[in-house]
A and B are shown apart, each in its own frame.
Chain A
Amino acid sequence: MECQECKKRPATVHFTQVVNGDKKEMHLCEYCAQEMGYMDYHDHNFSFHHLLSGLFNFDSGASLSGNQKEAFHNASVTKCEKCGMTYQEFTRVGKFGCENCYKTFDQHLNPIFRRVHSGNTKHDGKIPKRVGGNLHLKRNLQQYRLQLQNLIEKEEFEEAAKMRDQIRELEKKLSNAEDGES
């Protein structure tokens, strides 16, 4: 395939550009992609497309067992109720349509995330102040409990007792907050 911009070099950069819901297939050579400024923003997606095609390359159906085929078929008709994106479309475009897609396709996501994020599947960063709700407290609580275990193992019982009090206080705070929420 030739580059759709210069029509000279072979197209090696492929992606879908979506503007206001209109999808446009882009096939460019690296030079033109660079020239048009795409490399700066789409570099990570290129590799992702390769990753996905590796994960979901079911074209060679012969290599799949009956169960796998069925699983794939079921997956492909899974549809997000909020935005209408099907799982099949997701694997083709490589993009989620809305936050609810994450819930809808949840059972298929861990292998994808592991592949893209070096084995990680769970968030360990910032929590938004409002939407994050009690997550801050919950995360602190987890940390305190770990510390408590450490202290007990090291037989530092005085410190452990203090930590236990802190945990109780935090638990109380959390249950109050959860009551307030409902």
Chain B
Amino acid sequence: MSLQQFINEAISPWLKEEAEDNDIVLSSRIRLARNFKEYPFPIVADEKTLEKVLDVFADHFAEHSLGKNANLELVRMSQLEPIEKRVLVEKHLISPSLAENQKTGAALISEDEQVSVMINEEDHIRIQLYQPGFQLEGALDYASKLDDWLEEKISYAFDENRGYLTSCPTNVGTGMRASVMMHLPALVITQQMNQIIPAINQLGLVVRGIYGEGSEALGNLFQISNQITLGKSEEDIVEDLKSVVKQLIEQERNARQRLMKNSAIQLEDKIFRSYGILANSRIIQSKEASKCLSDVRLGIDLGLIQNVSKTILNELMILTQPGFLQQYAKKGLTPEERDVKRATLIRERLNLEQE
């Protein structure tokens, strides 16, 4: 398989779409946790019960489609090779816990990969909806429609006072986790993230690195999400998150402008060195790769680097994960072999841009 083909299959189509503010907000996600009223939650339910849950999805929802959305395919964990599961985890379509539920775990995944309904994870149902860029409302609207559609056939565990009942008390109420993935290189370079993170936490939101910890987030990619699910409406939760994200976008834009004004040549140097490393290295660890990818993406956003597509950061952050590297190599790789394969894949990917 050519690299282009591999990428086309590996990268969810929606990730390549242009969208609002997507120089800084790469994607938006809404997750809704739901459970069947009649069955115990997966943490205590026996296999037979969880199979009944699975049957409902096989009978009523698999091979169906909702609205404009392409077909939903039911993917059972029992039918997948370990490497295939790992790839789904790296694409954030399923969680590692679901991948481990070998017997009764499954996911209903849409053809465009914007929708993934995880079945028999911590809750019976976890609806996940992705949108490119900063589109939380659109994601919520879509997720809610999906939720209504499922409810036509499923009686949800719901209580007047407590809302949607979930296995973990941190999800009760709306059962909703709204999040955005943000690229914040200038705030990291100017060392502002360390002050911003605690301030955001105080507002009941959680900030963390997507591929790393705290302020050392790999690729300067951060996920911001709501902590509170009880006592606020879905719309209010999204609104509160949105207002914080908007401020962050503005701060990041300001920081980029200041950098360009005060230290343009240093910034340009940093960006092109990173480009040089990606274009030439023969061995590269994920930490260095993600740092360089972040620099290059910043260079593209600032107009310093041309003729390289914007999506290269998210694309290569995903493609250079261990699962994908091994799938591309079509065999298991030691960590050392992975570093070589990673360097090769990145060089080839950059070459594609030149063609």
> Which of A15-23, A62-70, A71-79, A161-169 is the interface stretch?
A15-23
A144 in contact (CB, < 8 A): no
Taking the closest CB of chain A, its distance from the CB of B82, in whole angstroms, is 13
Question: Contact between B151 and A85 (Cβ–Cβ < 8 Å)?
Answer: no
A107 in contact (CB, < 8 A): no
Q: Could you tell me the distance between the alpha carbons of A127 and B322 in the complex, rounded to whole angstroms?
A: 42
Question: Contact between A123 and B169 (Cβ–Cβ < 8 Å)?
Answer: no
| Chain A, interface SS category | loop
> Which of B106-114, B171-179, B190-198, B261-269 is the interface stretch?
B171-179
Query: Given A123-B161, A123-B173, A37–B40 Cβ distance below 8 Å?
Result: no
Interface residues of B in 232-254 (CB under 8 A from A): 232-234, 237
Chain B residues near A129 (CB-CB < 8 A): 148, 151
Q: Could you tell me the distance between the alpha carbons of A84 and B43 in the complex, rounded to whole angstroms?
A: 12
B208 in contact (CB, < 8 A): yes
> How many inter-chain residue pairs (CB < 8 Å) link A and B?
177
Question: Contact between A43 and B169 (Cβ–Cβ < 8 Å)?
Answer: no
Question: Contact between A124 and B232 (Cβ–Cβ < 8 Å)?
Answer: yes
B344 in contact (CB, < 8 A): no
Query: Given A48-B170, A95-B122, A96-B167, A123–B44 Cβ distance below 8 Å?
Result: no
Q: Given A41, A85, A122, which contacts B97 in the complex, CB threshold below 8 Å?
A: A41
Question: Contact between A84 and B44 (Cβ–Cβ < 8 Å)?
Answer: yes
**Of residues B40, B92, B103, B211, which shows the largest number of chain A Cβ atoms within 10 Å of its Cβ?**
B40
Taking the closest CB of chain A, its distance from the CB of B125, in whole angstroms, is 12
Question: Contact between A21 and B45 (Cβ–Cβ < 8 Å)?
Answer: yes
Question: Contact between A44 and B206 (Cβ–Cβ < 8 Å)?
Answer: yes
A98 in contact (CB, < 8 A): yes
B204 in contact (CB, < 8 A): yes
Q: Given B101, B158, B227, B230, which contacts A132 in the complex, CB threshold below 8 Å?
A: B158
Taking the closest CB of chain B, its distance from the CB of A93, in whole angstroms, is 7
Q: Could you tell me the distance between the alpha carbons of A129 and B92 in the complex, rounded to whole angstroms?
A: 29
Across the A-B interface, the 6 shortest Cβ-Cβ residue pairs: A120-B231, A123-B163, A99-B157, A117-B230, A125-B174, A97-B44
**A-B CB contact pairs (8 Å), 25 listed:** A20-B101, A21-B46, A34-B211, A35-B322, A37-B96, A38-B97, A40-B223, A41-B95, A43-B208, A97-B41, A98-B40, A99-B35, A113-B230, A116-B230, A117-B172, A117-B231, A118-B204, A122-B161, A123-B159, A123-B161, A123-B173, A126-B164, A128-B158, A130-B151, A132-B158
17 more A-B contacts (CB under 8 A) besides A102-B162, A129-B151? A19-B97, A20-B46, A21-B46, A21-B47, A35-B322, A44-B168, A44-B171, A48-B170, A94-B168, A97-B44, A98-B41, A121-B231, A125-B163, A125-B176, A126-B164, A128-B156, A130-B155
